[in-house]
Amino acid sequence: MKNCGVETALAVEGGMKVVSPVTGEVVATLKAHDVAETEAAIAKAGEAFRKWRMVPGPRRGELVRLFAEELRNSKDDLGRMVSIEAGKSPSEGLGEVQEMIDICDFAVGLSRQLYGLTIATERPGHRMMETWHPLGVVGIVTAFNFPCAPWCWNSALALVCGDPVIWKPSEKTPLTALACQAVFERALVRFGADAPDGLSQVLIGGPDVGDALVTSEKVALISATGSTRMGRIVGPKVAARFGKCILELGGNNAGIVCPSADLDMALRAIAFGAMGTAGQRCTTMRRLFVHESVYDQLVPALKKAYASVTVGNPLEGQALVGPLIDEAAYDGMVAALGEVKDLGGVVHGGERVSVGPDTAYYVKPAIVEMPSQQGPVLRETFAPILYVMKYSDFDAVLELHNDVGGGLSSSIFTTDLREMEVFLSARGSDCGIANVNIGTSGAEIGGAFGGEKETGGGRESGSDAWRAYMRRATNTINYSKDLPLAQGVSFDIG
Ligand code: NAD
């Protein structure tokens, strides 16, 4: 496969190994790009920008419309690729591709709505307005657990906004990226000649390749999805060169189950939120506060659901929980469970399950009943562990809810209007996503996606997130014969 002028083969001697978590076996070795190739890709994207920014927005939207068609044609294959590389269940793999299709459809409409405001001016005979223009090259760095949708949240918007994109996918899931690029190229062929070379490129490699994008002054916007650890490195580097940055980092998401909750609905929502994608979603529910009056009803039912959930190979059968991404993820889970036991936590589940070769890491999702919020409960362990805590006072539990570094997603289960409104109010959840009677995960593309605090503050996808991919100009036009100065300042040179 040709990509950025570099041959990307699936079996390169001494190349970057791609391991499927389904079996733990190497499924491909790829030639990684180096820093020089990254710089060449950035230069090519810069050239593409000069042309693409002059193509009208609705015409740019036509390319994304064609891409959505190609994605529909390739949905099954891409979904299976996600399952092979990230270990997701077939339904979740297909769901991730559907999310790409949805954001493309959104972006096509958006391509005719890139509008600014007309603003009242204090000066007679003047008009003031804002205009939005393409920004420049967008560098997209993505995490393993969503190997394609976050790229598309960024690229579909960036492309209609007039920006070329360069994608550095996770070194753990590069094949899905190459497949997406191949699908995009089909759309490019159909689109015709006004798509410049270098409009969308994929760079294969690890943090060094990402760093070359992050530090390049020729990349106008870096959109980086991954751990808070990565964001702490990337954020300051982009800021140091006054670049723009969208950070989509880790979360420590919680649910609160109130006395009036529909417990059956809560149970199902918590099960998907905490165990879906084997606990490897940024929005996975990791903490659960249950009111003391319903604790003895809900928690035993949850433990039963956990004990009966099917763990297995996502490519065969109907298992709801697939593998962890690798050994390091398993070690992180074992370490966190060991730590909480020392803090008085009672662990249910969490054992390794033998599915296929020893090189694959499957686990029973774990529920941990905790006496208080401390130790590993305060951080994100990227594995299926749900810490459950009992509460009695609503105001106190809101404080605890917000008393962690992550600020991505949150939910409350209640039928009490007052509790619901407080949770959504200024003194309620401090997260970028606050839900009522649904879990923390499974966001739709129509809303802006992202979170506060250690989640990085970025917003992607729907609502007005498109503005991050454009530059804003405020224009004041004087159509009078005078030159009144703002704020009544006089500067009369006679
Ligand atoms: P990671 O931070 O290890 O890697 C993410 C990406 O960053 C990879 O492409 C990696 O190569 C790159 N990277 C790492 N260090 C870098 C550096 N110094 N410079 C440039 N690039 C660098 O994360 P991961 O293990 O792949 O993914 C799991 C994490 O991602 C979790 O914390 C999860 O919560 C988070 N995540 C967040 C969101 C969100 O939207 N908020 C979505 C998905 C995943």
Indicate whether residue 203 lines ligand 1 (CB < 6 A). no
> Which atom of ligand 1 lies closest to the CA of 168?
9
Indicate whether residue 214 lines ligand 1 (CB < 6 A). yes
pLDDT tens sequence across 82-140: 999 999 999 999 999 999 999 999 999 999 999 999 999 999 999 999 999 999 999 99
> Which atom of ligand 1 lies closest to the CA of 229?
2
Does residue 62 surpass a pLDDT of 60?
Answer: yes
Does residue 6 surpass a pLDDT of 90?
Answer: no
* Mean pLDDT, range 227-235, rounded to an integer: 98
Rounded to whole angstroms, the Cα distance separating 156 from 111 reads 10
Determine contact, residues 364/350, Cβ cutoff 8 Å.
Answer: yes
> Which atom of ligand 1 lies closest to the CA of 408?
41
- pLDDT band at 221; cut points 50, 70, 90: very high
Average pLDDT of the residues of the chain:
96
Residue nearest to atom 42 of ligand 1 (CA): 282
Determine contact, residues 340/348, Cβ cutoff 8 Å.
Answer: no
If you measure from the C-alpha of residue 248 to the centroid of ligand 1, how many angstroms do you get, rounded to a whole number? 8
Determine contact, residues 325/145, Cβ cutoff 8 Å.
Answer: yes
- Please pick, among 96, 248, 369, 460, the residue that the annotation labels catalytic: 248
- pLDDT band at 169; cut points 50, 70, 90: very high
* Mean pLDDT, range 198-218, rounded to an integer: 97
Residue nearest to atom 39 of ligand 1 (CA): 248
Strand stretches in 21-151, DSSP E = 25-30, 118-119, 126-134, 137-141
pLDDT number for residue 93: 95
> Which atom of ligand 1 lies closest to the CA of 228?
32
Residue 186's nearest CA partner among 28, 72, 61, 108 is 72
Does residue 79 surpass a pLDDT of 70?
Answer: yes
Indicate whether residue 62 lines ligand 1 (CB < 6 A). no
pLDDT tens sequence across 44-56: 999 999 999 999 9
CA dihedral 455, 459, 461, 464 (to 10 degrees): 160
pLDDT number for residue 446: 96
* Mean pLDDT, range 469-488, rounded to an integer: 97
Ligand 1, from 227, 285, 409: best to mutate by most atoms within 8 Å of Cβ? 227
Determine contact, residues 177/1, Cβ cutoff 8 Å.
Answer: no
Indicate whether residue 234 lines ligand 1 (CB < 6 A). yes
pLDDT number for residue 9: 52
pLDDT number for residue 132: 98
Does residue 200 surpass a pLDDT of 60?
Answer: yes
pLDDT tens sequence across 409-452: 999 999 999 999 999 999 999 999 999 999 999 899 999 999 99
Coil/strand/helix, residue 457: coil
- pLDDT band at 10; cut points 50, 70, 90: low
- pLDDT band at 317; cut points 50, 70, 90: confident
pLDDT number for residue 105: 98
Residue 367's nearest CA partner among 275, 292, 430, 283 is 275
The letter for the amino acid at 378 is L
Rounded to whole angstroms, the Cα distance separating 132 from 10 reads 42
Indicate whether residue 230 lines ligand 1 (CB < 6 A). yes
Ligand 1, from 103, 225, 228: best to mutate by most atoms within 8 Å of Cβ? 225
Cα 365 to chain centroid, rounded: 23
pLDDT number for residue 5: 41
If you measure from the C-alpha of residue 226 to the centroid of ligand 1, how many angstroms do you get, rounded to a whole number? 2
Instruction: Give me the helix-helix angle, 207-214 and 35-52, nearest 10°.
Output: 40
If you measure from the C-alpha of residue 456 to the centroid of ligand 1, how many angstroms do you get, rounded to a whole number? 12
Cα 377 to chain centroid, rounded: 22
Mark whether 248 is an active-site residue.
Answer: yes
Q: Look at the pTM and tell me if it is higher than 0.85.
A: yes
Q: What's the length of the chain?
A: 494
Indicate whether residue 227 lines ligand 1 (CB < 6 A). yes
Other Cβ atoms within 10 Å of 175 Cβ, number? 21
> Which atom of ligand 1 lies closest to the CA of 143?
26
Contacts (Cβ under 8 Å, ≥6 apart) of 287 = 252, 253, 254, 255, 373, 377, 386, 387, 389, 401, 404
- pLDDT band at 2; cut points 50, 70, 90: very low
- pLDDT band at 291; cut points 50, 70, 90: very high
Quickly tell me which residue has 């709505």 as its tokens: 113
pLDDT number for residue 49: 98
Residue nearest to atom 22 of ligand 1 (CA): 207
Does residue 12 surpass a pLDDT of 80?
Answer: no
Q: From residue 399, give the alpha-carbon distance in Å to each of 8, 22, 29, 417.
A: 51, 40, 48, 19
Indicate whether residue 454 lines ligand 1 (CB < 6 A). no
Determine contact, residues 143/184, Cβ cutoff 8 Å.
Answer: no
What strand order describes the sheet that includes 126-134? Answer: 118-119, 126-134, 470-478
Q: With pLDDT > 70 as the criterion, what percentage of the chain qualifies?
A: 97
pLDDT number for residue 318: 85
Q: Using CA of residue 25, residue 29, residue 30, residue 31, what is the dihedral sign?
A: positive
* Mean pLDDT, range 135-164, rounded to an integer: 98
Indicate whether residue 460 lines ligand 1 (CB < 6 A). no
Q: Supply the DSSP symbol for 445.
A: T
Q: Supply the DSSP symbol for 484.
A: P
Ligand 1, from 33, 35, 88, 141: best to mutate by most atoms within 8 Å of Cβ? 141
Rounded to whole angstroms, the Cα distance separating 471 from 222 reads 14
Rounded to whole angstroms, the Cα distance separating 207 from 154 reads 19
> Which atom of ligand 1 lies closest to the CA of 250?
34
Q: Which two tokens stand for residue 23?
A: 């079996």
Coil/strand/helix, residue 356: coil
Determine contact, residues 365/386, Cβ cutoff 8 Å.
Answer: yes
Indicate whether residue 146 lines ligand 1 (CB < 6 A). yes
End-to-end CA distance of the chain: 70
If you measure from the C-alpha of residue 447 to the centroid of ligand 1, how many angstroms do you get, rounded to a whole number? 22
**Domains of the chain and any CATH numbers:** 2-249+456-475 (3.40.605.10), 253-436 (3.40.309.10)
Rounded to whole angstroms, the Cα distance separating 354 from 361 reads 8
Indicate whether residue 226 lines ligand 1 (CB < 6 A). yes
pLDDT number for residue 14: 75
